[in-house]
Chains A and B, each alone.
Chain A
Amino acid sequence: MPHFPRRALSRRALLKTLGVSASLAPFVPLLNASGQELKRPKRLLLVFTPDGSADSDTSAGPIDWKPQGTETDFTLHPIQDPLTPLKSKLIVPWGLRMSAKGAGEQHAYGSAGMWTGALLKDPGNGADFDGGNGHRTGWDSGPSVDQILAANAGPGLPYAVTPDAAVQETAYRTLELGVQCGNPTSVTRTIYKADDTPLHPETDPQAAFDRLFGNFMPDTQAADAAQKKKEQQSILDLVTADLNRLKTRVSSEEYPKLEAHLTGIRALEQRLETMTPVANADCTAPDRPASSGKYANNANFPAEVGAMLGMIPHIFACDLTRIASVQLSCGFSNVTHTWLGHTDAHHTMSHQDVDNRDKLVAIDHWYAQQLATMLQALDAIDEGEGTLLDNTLVVWGRELGTTSHAMQPWPTLLAGGAQGALRTGRFLDVSKQPSAQLLVSILQAMGMQSTTSIGNIDMDSGPLGGLA
């Protein structure tokens, strides 16, 4: 049976209470105030990989991502073959039409809309980006599904306490990670906290590691910890005072920046109040990865993908967050998959007038392999009533339906099922249903049962039929 420290009672404190040393710790169930064993939290993970499924610009017809067979007796598409061992924990909703529209062309509004179901805006408020072929765009107009979920709290949801509570259940309400995601523009960002508010991913695996696991030392001297906390709180108090004083000096048009900065400082304060996980049998740190360095290095892409995806099971097992996203490359991916023998970049190959479908399929297959490795790691962690994967909902999505910019069928795939909220091991033909329905279903499965609408494209779509 699994157990690890979280919330108000750390493992170490618990062990102390029980009078045993950590090294000799027997199984200790996590208990709530009434002495009942706590149910493990639900987690959500969004995974982005670039471009659509291959159809090239030839007349040969698309590679369609579609499994063969019946709802419960099916064979995965060859692209998804690496995921076959986990088939019973997957759902392939085939044929969705992306609820993504707006300014720019498909790479841009697909990236912006895939997790938000909201329109990519025209340039304005200072945001003015190349949305492809010279079309200009602003930022997206709504929050992404992970951020909507993170803003909520309550029974059956990942979090019991609200985002503004002084003491949080995890160090991070959400984590945004990525690999070689480019400079901030509308075609390189997929996660939005709100209208006009993209969240940039951390793209250096070493920086992410240091932030999450750097202080992951067992039993730092308690006195040191108290002093360190006092130091950090004092610094944050001073910075907060400065931010508030600066606010009296600037135009109200600048308040959003300073308020966002204050929110960031507040998050650091909350982290000081949140129990740091302690390494133990269930919660271990991964190996410290190499830094991605000053410039994106194509040759390091596979290692960085491995490092970021490899961190996810540790992050969830240690309860550092319950809601995360990983964005691998970005729209218009200029990653050249040299390790697959390719000499042209992913996006370049998607528009060459030669049949590159084999190569494009190889790229998708490679991404499926990376995903499979991570899913198997999640599934190898026993959390009592199920594995970590069983307690998680993993959603794989891309910014296009097909490489020739069709927005249907959207190549997507679910794994885990969020503690049985979704029935896994199924292939669902949901052809032409809006992807907003899937996003609503994600929110419902994660505990927001009364949610029936997301975004501003396919509003009031309700959930995806047959998914739950």
Chain B
Amino acid sequence: MLVHGSRPLLGCILATALGCTGTVTVPAPVQRDTGSSGGTTSNAAGTSGSSGAGAKSSGGSTSGSSGTTNDPTAEACAKQTGAALKVGRSRLSRLTRTQLDHTLRDLLGVAGSPSSALTPDETVGPFASNALAVVTDLIVEQHQELAAKVALDAQSRRAKITPCDLASGDACVKTFITTFGAKAYRRPLLDDEIAAYTALYGVGGTPDDGFRLVLEAMLQSPFFLYHADVGPTGTPSAMPVSLTSYELASRLSYFIWDSMPDQALFDLAAKDGLDDDATLRDQVTRMLADPRAKDAVPLFHLQWLDISAAQLGSLASAQPALAEAMLAEASDFSNHVILAGDGRLSTLFTAPYSYPRGALFDIYGLSKPASFTDGTQVMLDGTERAGLLTQAGFLVKHYRGDQEGSVVHRGITIRENLLCTPIDPPPANVMATPLPPVAGTTARDRFAAHETGSCAGCHTQMDPIGLAFENYDGLGRYRTTDGGVTIDASGEIVDGGDLTGSFTGVVELGQKLAQSRTVADCAATQWFRFALGRIEAPDDACTLKALHDGFAASGYDVRALITTLVLSDAFRHVRAIGTQEDMP
């Protein structure tokens, strides 16, 4: 376990091991954000036995993924053809903070983000997930405190929450426990569960207190706090089995809404009505049109690009309004493109408009229209800005205080999160400290050291991408000079499959990404990880192939991708028991 030998030996390791090491002051990434594992993996489902990092073994491949001969996903799927259905392992997963907030909102009308009292979520790939997170005494107590607070607050809204007057007697108490419990547990309660809650209600002594105790316990129950999919037998299986209707309803709602199912989904689940493709398609369409989709779509895009709120770091504390504006812009933009616009992946990288608000107008050098209200679309200078990568949120989040770190970090983020081709770590003995800015030089000059010798193996994969971002400063403002020298924003993608080649500036990079099958395959893979809260496993190869092919067939319409994902084997089945292959 203590060697790196489990990682694939990519060429860049071999190259760097020869001498990009030791004592020199090597410009290299300073701290990448420690609050996230970026685009690399947390090996959620357990992945290939030969790799410590699942993302490396799949997803958008580095080259030729549009064909079939060089596509490892297609090859892996082909090997599974004719065999029994294969699906990666699912883990018992505690609700994330946003899932809990949205669930409390939909279940009890709780406003705000009460879950900020909880220990932060862990991540799977770039996405928040507690599939692997250790449960501690503190986390259990935080859930207890949150449950007590929410239950106490809900007492004043009791009449709105209960279907009848609890004071009217036992019949109403049972009705309340049965109907409310089915929402909280996201499945009908068992008889002995109803009995247990009825007894607990009695401990309260009054309707108000009985109500409070029932809520307080339900909100601490593991059936509320965890996604515990196992299928209809109620026992874990080493073979993939269909989800129960209720489990599928929850998977759907937490994927598309980041929240619990609504009554329509519960009603369908109650009559086992989520089996057929047509119904699932209808539900996806209905759910994407629901305002709750506007919670999940930005969540995906912000986490995908690693610009989630808490990570705007010092900006968020120094200028919270500006940080909120950056998040709101990316949220409004992704919601518009995916839910109201053409839904195309390419539009995310090329749209010459955005949704700036507040101080972003100054940063973008735009004047605010006279009758502007937040959320209004604004046209940009398309030569300076187009798409998510030129928005302040991405630019600021991946800025690293000094230009050297930014070059590497922005390059790595593109490489890992958008191309699904993680960069291997530098050799263990590299002691990297960034080079200081020197008057009369640009980052490009200072980075020349990376472009020769053994460092080049890895750094040519990231630096030439990051250098194309030099037109943007630490606040995302467009600039043409750095250190008094005119910026050369030419960039290059090396060993990037259909992306390989040179370009100038981020607007052109966006156009390049928009046309790439590699990026599209990677995006589909990232949606898989987001939807299922786990990294793809070898057993998911055919689901991934279906996603990649279906996305292409739709002209890269993300809404179609979401539907394909919901209809996929991995989404509709669960395998709860790991196999030898799943073992880390």
B483 to chain A, nearest CB (A): 15
Contact between A238 and B196 (Cβ–Cβ < 8 Å)? yes
| Interface flag for B423 (CB, 8 Å) | yes
| Interface flag for B518 (CB, 8 Å) | no
- Given A122-B52, A133-B430: A239 and B134 interface contact (C-beta under 8 Å): no
> Chain A: which residue is nearest B143 at the CB level?
A264
| Interface flag for A68 (CB, 8 Å) | no
Contact between B35 and A136 (Cβ–Cβ < 8 Å)? no
What residues of B have a CB within 8 angstroms of the CB of A260 in the complex? 134-136
> Chain B: which residue is nearest A348 at the CB level?
B401
B218 to chain A, nearest CB (A): 9
- Tell me which of B29, B310, B401, B431 contacts A405 (CB under 8 A): B431
- Tell me which of A123, A133, A267, A300 contacts B29 (CB under 8 A): A133
- Mark the stretch among A24-32, A228-236, A312-320 that contacts chain B: A228-236
- Tell me which of B36, B140, B200, B217 contacts A183 (CB under 8 A): B36
Indicate the member of B199, B317, B401 with the most A CB atoms within 10 Å: B317
- Tell me which of A183, A198, A207, A352 contacts B35 (CB under 8 A): A183
Contact between B136 and A249 (Cβ–Cβ < 8 Å)? no
- Mark the stretch among B37-45, B59-67, B448-456 that contacts chain A: B37-45
What residues of B have a CB within 8 angstroms of the CB of A231 in the complex? 203-204, 209, 213
Contact between A235 and B216 (Cβ–Cβ < 8 Å)? yes
A243 to B35, CA, bound (A): 30
Contact between A295 and B6 (Cβ–Cβ < 8 Å)? no
A127 to chain B, nearest CB (A): 7
| Interface flag for B499 (CB, 8 Å) | no
A238 to B33, CA, bound (A): 41
Contact between A235 and B217 (Cβ–Cβ < 8 Å)? yes
Contact between A135 and B31 (Cβ–Cβ < 8 Å)? no
Indicate the member of A198, A238, A296, A405 with the most B CB atoms within 10 Å: A238
Question: What per-residue 1/0 map shows which CB atoms of B410-447 lie under 8 Å from chain A?
Answer: 00100000000001111010111111100000000000
Contact between A253 and B34 (Cβ–Cβ < 8 Å)? no
What residues of B have a CB within 8 angstroms of the CB of A345 in the complex? 314, 401
Contact between A134 and B35 (Cβ–Cβ < 8 Å)? no
| Interface flag for A130 (CB, 8 Å) | yes
What residues of B have a CB within 8 angstroms of the CB of A204 in the complex? 117
The total of chain B residues at the interface (CB under 8 A) is 101
Question: What per-residue 1/0 map shows which CB atoms of A111-137 lie under 8 Å from chain B?
Answer: 000000001011111111110111110
Contact between B91 and A254 (Cβ–Cβ < 8 Å)? yes
| Interface flag for A413 (CB, 8 Å) | no
Contact between B31 and A243 (Cβ–Cβ < 8 Å)? no
Contact between B113 and A294 (Cβ–Cβ < 8 Å)? yes
Chain A, range 181-240, C-beta contacts under 8 Å to B: 182-185, 187-188, 193, 196-202, 204, 207, 210-211, 227, 230-231, 234-235, 238-239
| Interface flag for B523 (CB, 8 Å) | no
| Interface flag for A176 (CB, 8 Å) | yes
Contact between A121 and B2 (Cβ–Cβ < 8 Å)? yes
- Mark the stretch among B161-169, B222-230, B354-362, B373-381 that contacts chain A: B222-230
Chain B, range 318-364, C-beta contacts under 8 Å to A: 318, 320
- Tell me which of B52, B133, B137, B426 contacts A267 (CB under 8 A): B137
Question: What per-residue 1/0 map shows which CB atoms of B86-98 lie under 8 Å from chain A?
Answer: 0000011010000
A91 to B433, CA, bound (A): 34
A196 to B434, CA, bound (A): 32
| Interface flag for B1 (CB, 8 Å) | yes
A234 to B310, CA, bound (A): 37
A205 to B42, CA, bound (A): 30
Contact between A296 and B221 (Cβ–Cβ < 8 Å)? no
> Chain A: which residue is nearest B26 at the CB level?
A133
> Chain A: which residue is nearest B225 at the CB level?
A261
Contact between A348 and B402 (Cβ–Cβ < 8 Å)? yes
What residues of B have a CB within 8 angstroms of the CB of A265 in the complex? 140
Contact between B317 and A297 (Cβ–Cβ < 8 Å)? yes
- Give residues in B with beta carbon < 8 Å to A: 1-4, 6, 25, 28-38, 40-44, 46, 52-53, 91-92, 94, 113, 116-117, 119-123, 131-142, 144-145, 193, 196-197, 199-200, 203-205, 209, 213, 216-217, 220-223, 226, 228, 230, 234-236, 309-314, 316-318, 320, 401-402, 412, 423-426, 428, 430-436, 576-578, 584
- 18 A-B pairs in the complex with CB atoms less than 8 angstroms apart: A126-B42, A130-B36, A133-B28, A133-B430, A133-B432, A183-B36, A183-B123, A184-B120, A196-B134, A242-B223, A250-B228, A254-B92, A264-B136, A268-B141, A295-B309, A295-B317, A332-B31, A351-B434
- Give residues in A with beta carbon < 8 Å to B: 57, 102-103, 107, 119, 121-130, 132-136, 138, 176, 182-185, 187-188, 193, 196-202, 204, 207, 210-211, 227, 230-231, 234-235, 238-239, 241-243, 246, 248-251, 253-254, 256-258, 260-261, 263-265, 267-268, 293-300, 330-332, 334, 336, 344-345, 347-348, 351-354, 405
